[in-house]
Structure 1
Amino acid sequence: MIQALPTSETVTQWITVCAIDQILPNTGVCALVKGEQIAIFRVGDSEEVYAIANYDPFSKAFVLSRGLVGDRNGIVKVASPIYKQNFSLQSGRCLDDETVSVPTFPVRVVEMQVQVNIAEG
């Protein structure tokens, strides 16, 4: 698990998590940000990144960062490694059960650093 690094932008809630090259293409990592496990995914070898909660509501385990990244009908998704439910990386919506979703978080790459935005709760 990667620990988020403090930045001078913490006032705006953008928190640097890791360098983009620490996330292999088409994989995810888990980062602990303000006490919350966030799954951050890199699509391809570009700077296209997504952030969702790491908690899989079906298996009740923190495992989504270890899921398989893919595409379903043009929707970038991750398949949970346990029961294989698919979640949209853009919306967090479960593609197999429309009544279930996981939280998503704003994420960006600035100067090759991945940053997430966690709102104060």
Structure 2
Amino acid sequence: MELIADKKDRITWHLACHQSDVPEEGGACALIEGKQIAIFHFTRRGEWYATDNECPHRQQMALSRGMIGSQQGEPKVACPFHKKTFSLKDGSCLSGEEYKIKTYPILVKDGLVYIGI
């Protein structure tokens, strides 16, 4: 499925998983176009997010197993190894370092989760 925002921006939606595959208040990982994508479900907020699964601090594929929460209202994930925290909205590092993760559009429809690449 492809949506075109304008002539330069094309988003192709990829089926990642069933909604039930992602734990409530947690994350899961999907392989899409050879990339590990972390998918997060904030059940209590009714929000979904998708980011790279790789933590840029030590290049470990671990973010989908990180703890999610919020920092001054900003949804975030903490790397399970070194506790670097990242905004799930824009990927910026909330721990004060210059690291950044890529974020992806996400769509949940009819019990299925799609990631836009």
TM-score, scaled relative to structure 1: 0.84
CA 98–89 in structure 1, closer or farther in 2 if over 3 Å, else same? same
Question: Is this contact kept in 2: 1:51–1:104, CA < 8 A?
Answer: yes
Aligned-partner Cα distance in 2 for 1:56–1:116:
19
Deviation at 1:29, TM superposition (A): 0.5
What SS does the aligned partner of 1:92 have? coil
Q: Which has the higher strand share?
A: 2
Give the unaligned 5+ runs of structure 1. Answer: 1-8
Deviation at 1:108, TM superposition (A): 1.0
Aligned-partner Cα distance in 1 for 2:76–2:96:
14
2:103 corresponds to which residue? 104
What SS does the aligned partner of 2:64 have? helix
Deviation at 1:60, TM superposition (A): 1.5
1:56 corresponds to which residue? 55
1:22 corresponds to which residue? 21
Deviation at 1:10, TM superposition (A): 5.5
Q: How does 1:1-121 map to 2 (within 5 A)?
A: 9=1, 13-44=12-43, 47-118=46-117
CA-atom RMSD in angstroms? 1.6
Runs of 4+ in 1 over 6 A off after TM superposition: none
Q: State, as a whole percentage, how many aligned pairs show the same letter.
A: 36
Aligned-partner Cα distance in 2 for 1:47–1:76:
12
What SS does the aligned partner of 1:102 have? coil
Give the counterpart letter for 2:17 in structure 1: C
Deviation at 1:97, TM superposition (A): 2.5
Aligned-partner Cα distance in 1 for 2:86–2:57:
11
Give the counterpart letter for 1:61 in structure 2: Q
Give the unaligned 5+ runs of structure 2. Answer: 4-10
Aligned-partner Cα distance in 1 for 2:15–2:45:
18
